[in-house]
Amino acid sequence: MSSTIFMHPASIFITAALLMPLLKRLGLQKISLAATPLVAWYVLGRLPETFGVCSYLGMELTFGRVDQMTYLFLHVFVVMALIGSLYNLHMSDPLEHSAAYLYVAGALGVTLSGDYVSLFIFWELMAVSSVFLIWFRRSRRSSGAGFRYLLMHTFGGLVLLAGIFLKYQMTRDLSFVQVPVTAMGLPDYLIMAGFMLNAAVPPLHAWLPDAYPEATVGGAVFLCAFTTKTAVYVLARAFPGSEVLTVLGACMALYGVIYAVIENDARRILAYHIVSQVGYMVCGIGIGTAMGVNGACAHAYAHIIYKALLFMGVGAVLEMTGRSKLSELGGLWRRMPLALVFTVIGGVSISGFPLTSGFVSKSMVVAAAGESHYLIIFLMLMLASVGTFLSVGIKLPYCIWFGKDSGVEAKDPPWNMQLAMLVAAGMCFLIGCYPQYLYRLLPFAVQYEPYTVYHLWETLQVLACTGLGFYLLRKILAPKPVLHLDLDWFYRKGSRVVLWLAANPVSRINDAVGEVYKTVGLRSTVATARVLSSFDKNGIDRFIDGSARHVMIVGEQLRKVQTGKIQHYIGAAFIFLFLLLIAFVLF
């Protein structure tokens, strides 16, 4: 890397975001959407190891800290920004592009942060900017989902901030570095909890399948790539080897898959699969070995690309048909053949098919679990792989493009959406066919060969048995237009209880206290004011005014004594000295 830096990569996207409305007026919006990620890509190769170091209120802030893990996430975030910009190129609303670029800037800022203060600043920038990608859909459901999303992330931010405050109070050090597992205290667990909320770790996950399906078509492509993967990065940076992450990650992998299998909405299926696939990453971080952390990072990179491809595929269907529920779709293979091909590529990639990115990344986490003798974790991850192929690799494309013809009229999306999907699909095959492209970016030296006979045979058996299972159970697995409750039910109902309490007993208590104040407090306050006013008038004012009048009288008498003739003053002085001498002699 070069020893000089042109500018902070986040500032490139922030500048573009702020100028987007002006660029729209000048007719330069599309050029800026393509150019901004390319400029950021150019800057990445010229970042020094440390930059942007400054002092503030006695704290040393580091806005730029680059190592191999940092560079891997910066690399994929900028690639994803380019793909997302291409996909959204036809959209005319400059504010949505601004929100997306501020969101990217937040992710880049978090990734580069070397201290918790700068990390928190960009962390909150991500939360505030990303919610507009949900609200810009401008529907009642998206409005409610956006508010719930913002409330959950505000809560997570407060937990994170509490951990940061306590950490600074205890250590006077806010450096963002790895925390030894044996030395973790309350501040570290609060910080981990704040990170885990963004990673959608159950039970703090329900905001994701609640909000992402309600985002705009292009906004969901950005949302699926940055929030959870930024959380994976900070967990890998600070808490590798924490066993609680191993257990929670494996539970995530299964939990998300179970909901994805029974879901009806295409984008909710993909949202639950974010929970599941991030579970692999969290599990790898918890295992903590070089293979586990490498697997988590590699899978984060691959997942960003193929999950974006899947969201772009079902987003194209939503864009062209206005529908996303599987029970309302079917038979689109003749009308949207290119979207079918790209979505299937994403589906086989997430399922871990050979020659795709999922095959060379997901298996690293599973191998790390096997090497560390986590047998139950190993089996849970393998079972989650079955559910992934069943729900996304088979069920989703089958119900949208095959199955019973819904009669919905559609066509393939605009050229820019197809180009973005082509780039993402090409990267899925590039990583799968040439894994060294990805492995050389990993934080630790890689000693792993995915294309072994055992691994190939094992994968093909799992996929074949899963395909057979779908064929036998296809009627049972047919999508049904029902709403499946998740843990968000509790805080939805809980919020209603809070609103009822605020509108009824709390409001009544407030009214009663107000009446007591009017009858007792207000009267006593007025009486006290009258007493003080009387004391001020009859006491303080009379004393001060009387003293002033006496001073004026004395002054008036003294004025009469003054004749203005010097001989009178000299005579008076002699008389005074004579009397003083007599007093001295006599006494």
Q: How far apart are CA 281 and CA 247, in angstroms?
A: 12
| 8 Å CB contact between 316 and 412 | yes
| 8 Å CB contact between 227 and 134 | no
| Mean pLDDT score, 537-545 | 64
| Mean pLDDT score, 536-543 | 65
Name the least confident of 79-88, 139-148, 190-199, 479-488: 479-488
Kindly report, residue by residue over 63-105, the tens digit of the pLDDT: 999 999 999 999 999 999 999 999 999 998 999 999 999 999 9
Residue 2 has pLDDT above 70, yes or no: no
Q: Using 50, 70 and 90 to split pLDDT, how confident is the model at 564?
A: low
Q: How far apart are CA 574 and CA 580, in angstroms?
A: 10
Residue 586 has pLDDT above 70, yes or no: no
Domain range list for the chain: 1-237, 240-483, 505-586
Backbone dihedral angles phi then psi of residue 250, each to the nearest 5 degrees? -65, -40
At residue 483, the pLDDT reads 75
| Mean pLDDT score, 21-33 | 93
Kindly report, residue by residue over 210-244, the tens digit of the pLDDT: 999 999 999 999 999 999 999 999 999 999 999 99
57 vs 43 pLDDT, higher one: 43
At residue 563, the pLDDT reads 59
Contacts of 437 (CB under 8 A, 6+ apart): 430, 431
| Mean pLDDT score, 132-139 | 94
For the chain, the average pLDDT equals: 88
| Mean pLDDT score, 531-555 | 66
Residue 570 has pLDDT above 70, yes or no: no
- Using DSSP's 3-state secondary structure scheme, residue 64 falls into strand
At residue 432, the pLDDT reads 94
Contacts of 195 (CB under 8 A, 6+ apart): 160, 231, 234, 235, 238, 239
Q: Using 50, 70 and 90 to split pLDDT, how confident is the model at 342?
A: very high
Kindly report, residue by residue over 257-303, the tens digit of the pLDDT: 999 989 999 999 999 999 999 999 999 999 999 999 999 999 999 99
Q: Using 50, 70 and 90 to split pLDDT, how confident is the model at 574?
A: low
Q: Helix 94-112 to helix 9-25 angle, to the nearest 10 degrees?
A: 170
At residue 490, the pLDDT reads 76
At residue 466, the pLDDT reads 87
User: What is the per-residue burial (b if ≥16 Cβ within 10 Å, else e) of 516-531?
Assistant: eeeeeeeeeeeeeeee
β-strand partners of 115: 175
Contacts of 68 (CB under 8 A, 6+ apart): 441, 442, 443
Q: How far apart are CA 225 and CA 94, in angstroms?
A: 21
Name the least confident of 273-287, 434-448, 523-537: 523-537
At residue 55, the pLDDT reads 85
Kindly report, residue by residue over 378-429, the tens digit of the pLDDT: 999 999 999 899 889 898 999 998 878 878 888 889 999 999 999 999 999 9
| 8 Å CB contact between 232 and 310 | no
553 vs 27 pLDDT, higher one: 27
Residue 443 has pLDDT above 90, yes or no: yes
Diameter of the chain measured on Cα atoms: 136
Residue 441 has pLDDT above 50, yes or no: yes
At residue 355, the pLDDT reads 94
What HEC string does 309-320 produce?
HHHHHHHHHHHH
Residue that the structure tokens 């990639």 belong to: 349
β-strand partners of 65: 50
At residue 183, the pLDDT reads 86
Contacts of 505 (CB under 8 A, 6+ apart): none
Joined together, the tokens standing for residue 51 give: 């930059």
Our measurement of the distance from residue 489's CA atom to the centroid of its chain's CA atoms, rounded to an integer in Å, reads 22
Residue 520 has pLDDT above 80, yes or no: no
Kindly report, residue by residue over 467-498, the tens digit of the pLDDT: 888 888 778 877 777 777 777 777 777 767 77
What's the DSSP call for residue 477? Answer: T
| 8 Å CB contact between 106 and 7 | no
Residue 558 has pLDDT above 70, yes or no: no
- Using DSSP's 3-state secondary structure scheme, residue 478 falls into coil
Backbone dihedral angles phi then psi of residue 294, each to the nearest 5 degrees? -60, -45
At residue 480, the pLDDT reads 78
511 vs 179 pLDDT, higher one: 179
Helices (H), 88-216: 94-112, 116-135, 140-171, 186-198, 207-211
Contacts of 301 (CB under 8 A, 6+ apart): 72, 73, 75, 76, 361, 431, 438, 441
At residue 1, the pLDDT reads 41
| Mean pLDDT score, 338-352 | 94
| 8 Å CB contact between 4 and 46 | yes
Q: What percent of the chain has pLDDT over 70?
A: 89
